Chains A and B, each alone.
Chain A
């Protein structure tokens, strides 16, 4: 057994987040001088500090105690999750001030969720990843039900928690099978045990795999494990809906991709079509049901389910290219989706309404907001010029390369369907008659955040090369063992 590396400093960003979270709780308890809005900005600053600190480990490749990777993949996701935290705090500031109690706990939980997400991307061992996953999930359960006096929020949170516990049990059951077959919970060891001749692998392995796919499918909201999503999304306070949509998917996929590359990569030809089937079910159901929605939160919930379907294509087509395509689409999707949500949050702060019909005539009352939301929605539907087109295109390409052209075909068709329900919202905003003609006031911090995010949407859409390279380099670090072990990836 080689010497374990206990360099505690490697986890500094997480320490910062945890400490900051504690400080915020204490501050909100004992200091009257800090307003609720300022608390939000303070929490955002904490997430930003942790993000910047994590940049210290750029181009590093080491691990902590053999269970946590500190490499470019980790760093990229630390930065990514940290920024999601920053935007979640910024977007919450006004909302929490107006509508929620206990701001200290609220922001502390957001920061803790980021810690959990970091752990999911960084782990190189299933149980560590699982504990991180639970840290993330527990924070989210509480956050979803944070609107204490709102029955919908309580109900959504409770459903999310009960089903989450259920799916965690399923996941752990699967881990048990895998451990039984391979004798380890380390990704690399599992991968090694599974490489070579796979014909004599016990059936228990595949039961374990099914159970784990189920558990992970719940976290990323793949059909048929998605049913909690609309309820939780609709019930949660709006900024938390945005946060859940972004971080639980992103962390789920960071974990999903790493696990299935490093641990189950050698069996890719066995499970590829299962993931592909899930992808098809998820794309089709998510996009078709979205057409029927009248509530903007539910609509975005179903559209995000559809997006999960596209992301699953990246796992089904597993290869270094597909992996980076997946992460890239994840980045593009999260930027765009957060942009859309921040727009909806700003709208909700003013009006307290969230039906699609309420968006009628928004273009006249708040042109910038309507334009930004339009851009975000076009990007989600995959129109050229915007991030959504490029990232989706690369993803479909990766699928085509892995002989899954039909899957890409389904994806293209479903993107076409998705355009329909996005256009419904856009039409409401531009064609509908507003109830009143008053212009909305301008909240500068939120508009600043929107401008940044929309800038990101255009940046990825028009000049994606830097982001591509970054993502590709980072993702490459989890594929090092994959190529050696399996040798199934044909480099073009």
Chain B
């Protein structure tokens, strides 16, 4: 077992999907154990692949393990599909298979009694399989197919409770918004293929390094690729689907936000970063710019959101923006490190929120509060997640965030760095608000608090495991820790593109970020403690600002307006066309009388048949005229 068999990792959950869909009804427990067993096996397999990779990773010239098969070939046209394993892949595999396993176990408790229990596990398995395929794909075509698969499964899962109108709407919104990016991705892939003549990622790199693409051409192509990442990873301006996607079951949100779907965009950019670097610097500046915008708007929107899951969703947008900024600053290491630790604390936050919702059946912050004494375990683990997200030493988020800040300071101008530091403060502020309003002080709805209690072990055990990881996983940055686990060194010496990045302790950044994080917490405490009087007063004082934030910068409204306008105008033109030229005397039977009484009349006076013939003649005449003009 090793890298050659890496294809088994996605194949197992895919098989679980098939089994549960076909015979799940007849299996005990509707086949949930098949799904969990498959993903657990994938997780175990991951270690074999890892061990195999560690054996060869030190060899000079190692670029990754590959196994591919011929898929299509005719004439001199050939497409190979295959799987590719390198350090970035390994990190993704670890994150995806582990978080998926935790979420699946948690789901057993959370989804119990749902009428579509079996279907839920089937789609979750397919979702994970698609994501794992995406990660392992050695070529852009397979990557795109898996990419679409992820999008489609997310459509099914976000709209899982499709009876709820909001859920159906959110699913549609997510699907359509991400598809806009996907159109760009496909065009980008076609552009890359057109010059290089291959879909294979490493061959495309070689081709690009040999100067095969023109600089402008490559820039346009990678920007199209990035459009796909913008859609999938919820970057501004396509971020609008992500907060709405909260309508799905909470474990789905956890999986989408922590390990699959949204990090696919980050992974894509990380994987293709050599192309971004070869392109005009504009490309990476766009990545940085959109990432930074996302960081800032999401953090501020998080301040005003009132739904517990929505706040966490904004925190995800925030984190994704940070990863994009890291990539924009040329650092795969920092982005992947953040992705790695983020998966743990974000899954933890979501599953914790899920426990709260499960226990109280409330998810508005205004109806929560004071849960700490009723749900101690959830509170403690959630606190760990919150602190990790804020980036308090020594929790995982601290190390990753400082890495990103470090590379921003080195790679970007002072403005970007300053805005990043500002975002640290705001993030801390809204995360503190979330925690205080949910768990501390008086309950604002004592009725629901009365029944609240920590959930069953299937749900709490994953919380505990994730909390431990959210606390300690940041230590992988130290070479000592990495070496102790058999890696060639710390995270930066294992995951890198061109040269190893040893971890440095930058005291200035550490102090700055800690001060800002802790400052945010203190200000947050003052604002939202007890009855949150200062916060309310601030909200009233800056009513316009608050409204802008609460309405998400009106971005959704603008889109709605534009869509309404475009669709209305477009559809009115189309329906005019339809009614006046095609449909009116079309085959709706209204012409039947004329037809039976004397159909000649119809074609001489009322029928649209002459119009049809007119269209045909004018088409021919226009063609002929253009020929005449072009040729003469």
Contact = CB atoms under 8 A, between A and B. Distances in A.
For the complex of A and B, the 7 pairs showing the least CB-CB separation, nearest first, are A472-B74, A151-B592, A384-B145, A214-B620, A206-B627, A210-B623, A210-B624
Interface stretch (A129-137, A329-337, A343-351, A397-405): A397-405
A416 B180 contact: yes
Given A206-B628, A206-B631, A400 B193 contact: yes
A235 B75 contact: no
B577 to A, nearest CB: 7
B581 interface: yes
Given A324-B74, A383-B152, A464-B72, A420 B176 contact: yes
A146 to B, nearest CB: 14
B172 interface: yes
A400 B190 contact: yes
B579 to A, nearest CB: 10
Given A230-B586, A469-B74, A288 B574 contact: yes
A320 B596 CA distance: 51
Interface in A271-309: 274, 288-289, 291-292
B373 interface: no
A224 B615 contact: yes
Interface string A239-277: 000000000000000000000000000000010001000
Contacts of B162: 430-431
Interface in A450-473: 463-465, 468-469, 471-473
A491 interface: yes
A228 B617 CA distance: 14
A154 interface: yes
Nearest to B607: A159
B372 interface: no
A320 B75 CA distance: 9
Given A163-B613, A397-B193, A155 B187 contact: no
B609 A162 contact: yes
Contacts of B190: 396-397, 400, 405, 408
A417 to B, nearest CB: 10
Given A234-B587, A385-B149, A468 B72 contact: yes
A292 B179 contact: no
Contact of B574 (A225, A289, A408, A409): A289
Contacts of B141: 393
Contacts of B72: 390, 394, 464-465, 468
A203 B71 contact: no
B211 interface: no
Contact of A231 (B71, B144, B571, B587): B587
Contacts of B149: 384-385
B619 interface: yes
Contact of B627 (A227, A274, A288): A274
Contact of B578 (A218, A292, A400, A405): A292
A135 B570 CA distance: 40
B619 A468 contact: no
Nearest to A158: B599
B591 interface: yes
A492 interface: yes
A176 to B, nearest CB: 14
A167 B613 CA distance: 8
> Most A CB atoms within 10 A — which of B141, B148, B612, B615?
B612
B197 interface: yes
Contacts of B77: 321, 492
B627 A384 contact: no
23 contacts: A151-B595, A151-B596, A154-B595, A159-B609, A166-B613, A207-B624, A225-B616, A228-B612, A234-B586, A270-B631, A288-B574, A321-B77, A324-B74, A384-B144, A384-B146, A389-B145, A408-B190, A409-B187, A412-B187, A423-B175, A427-B168, A465-B71, A472-B75
Which secondary structure dominates chain B's binding surface? helix
A289 B613 contact: no
Given A163-B612, A206-B631, A274 B623 contact: yes
Given A203-B632, A214-B620, A401-B194, A419 B587 contact: no
A152 interface: yes
Given A155-B592, A396-B190, 7 more contacts: A151-B596, A203-B628, A214-B616, A224-B615, A274-B623, A289-B577, A408-B190
Interface residues of A, number: 73
B76 interface: yes
Given A206-B628, A292-B571, A400-B194, A224 B618 contact: yes
Nearest to A475: B74
B615 A227 contact: yes
Contacts of B187: 405, 408-409, 412
A419 B151 CA distance: 13
Interface string A153-176: 011101100110011001000000
B574 A291 contact: yes
Contacts of B609: 159, 162-163
A327 B148 CA distance: 25
A213 B616 CA distance: 11
Interface in B573-632: 574-575, 577-578, 581-583, 586-589, 591-592, 595-596, 599, 603, 609, 611-613, 615-621, 623-624, 626-628, 630-632
Contacts of A289: 574, 577-578, 582
Contacts of B595: 151, 154-155, 158
B305 to A, nearest CB: 28
A480 interface: no
Nearest to B21: A371
A320 B631 CA distance: 27
Nearest to A414: B183
Interface string B96-108: 0000000000000
Contacts of A400: 190-191, 193-194
Contacts of B172: 423
Contacts of B621: 210
B612 A159 contact: yes
B216 interface: no
A317 interface: no
B620 A163 contact: no
B413 interface: no
